[in-house]
Amino acid sequence: MGPELPTEALSDEALLALVARGDEEAFRTLFRRYAGSFLALARRMGLDGAAGEDVVQEAMMRIWERAKEFNPRRGSARAFLLTIGHHTAVDEVRRRAARPVPLEPDPEAEEAFDLPGPGLDEEAHLDRARLHRALKALSPEERRVLETLYYQGYTHQEAARLLGLPLGTLKTWARKALSKLKEVLREP
């Protein structure tokens, strides 16, 4: 057998498979890759530093416990991990009965809300550029719906009330917006 690859060189999918078997080094690597994104997401949802750290810790515990549930046929490892981080942040917002702050352009926050990876490398820059292009493909109403649901952490009912939309309309716009994002992000 050849030498083993360092965990930093492994894909997220490979790391999740190792974590599912109890590999602590793989878990530490996932922590290094994703803790910053989880913390930035918590801040964008209105949580302070201590609450954000709680989100990171809880999200990582959930990843440790649920790594066996990851199925690459249902989506990417990145989507699996970021979904856990998002749900954990929403749970923390609700638990603390805090209301998130509105999403405002903030250059420092934009830098902090970076995609996971070893730093500001070319791939992360390209991912951010693709995401910004995809968001521009949405109508202002669709962007507002997604921001309210996913960045601010409101439920569908709360978002509909907040935006003054019928619940069915909000859900339709959200579904269409996510479908548009998916299509634009698939493009090379």
Task: Please tell me the distance from the alpha carbon of residue 181 to that of residue 88, in angstroms, as a whole number.
Answer: 23
Q: Are residues 34 and 99 in the same domain?
A: yes
Q: Are residues 75 and 35 in the same domain?
A: yes
- Expressed as residue numbers, the domain containing 70 is 7-105
From 46, 79, 105, the end of a domain falls on: 105
- Is residue 31 within 8 Å of residue 46, measured between CB atoms? no
- Is residue 15 within 8 Å of residue 4, measured between CB atoms? no
Q: Are residues 76 and 40 in the same domain?
A: yes
Q: Which two tokens stand for residue 36?
A: 């910053």
From 74, 105, 136, the end of a domain falls on: 105
Q: Are residues 77 and 133 in the same domain?
A: no
Q: Are residues 126 and 62 in the same domain?
A: no
Q: Which residue has the higher pLDDT, 28 or 106?
A: 28
Instruction: Give the other-Cβ count within 10 Å of 26's Cβ.
Output: 21
Secondary structure (DSSP) of 20-67: HTT-HHHHHHHHHHHHHHHHHHHHHTT--HHHHHHHHHHHHHHHHHHG
Does the residue 1 lie in any domain? no
Does residue 97 carry a pLDDT above 60?
A: no
Q: Which two tokens stand for residue 13?
A: 């999918």
Does the residue 158 lie in any domain? yes
- pLDDT tens digits, one per residue of 118-176: 444 445 555 667 777 777 888 888 888 888 887 777 888 888 888 898 988 888 888 88
Domain count across the chain:
2
From 81, 105, 129, the end of a domain falls on: 105
Mean pLDDT within 98-109: 49
Q: Are residues 184 and 147 in the same domain?
A: yes
Does the residue 169 lie in any domain? yes
Q: CA separation (Å) from 33 to 13, 44, 148?
A: 13, 19, 26
Residue 15: the pLDDT is 94
Does residue 112 carry a pLDDT above 80?
A: no
Q: Which two tokens stand for residue 30?
A: 């996932």
pLDDT band at 3, cuts 50/70/90? very low
- pLDDT tens digits, one per residue of 176-187: 888 888 887 776
Q: Residue 113: name the closest of 93, 92, 89, 144 by CA.
A: 89
Does the residue 113 lie in any domain? no
- pLDDT tens digits, one per residue of 53-96: 999 999 999 999 999 999 989 889 999 999 999 999 988 888 87
Question: Inter-axis angle of helices 77-95 and 49-66, to 10 degrees?
Answer: 130
Does the residue 2 lie in any domain? no
Does the residue 110 lie in any domain? no
Q: Are residues 146 and 181 in the same domain?
A: yes
- Is residue 144 within 8 Å of residue 165, measured between CB atoms? no
Q: Which two tokens stand for residue 37?
A: 């994104």
Secondary structure (DSSP) of 66-88: HGGG--TTTS-HHHHHHHHHHHH
CATH number at residue 150: 1.10.10.10
For tokens 């997220």, the residue is 12
Does residue 115 carry a pLDDT above 50?
A: no
- pLDDT tens digits, one per residue of 13-51: 999 999 999 999 999 999 999 999 898 888 888 888 888
Does the residue 114 lie in any domain? no
CATH number at residue 38: 1.10.1740.10
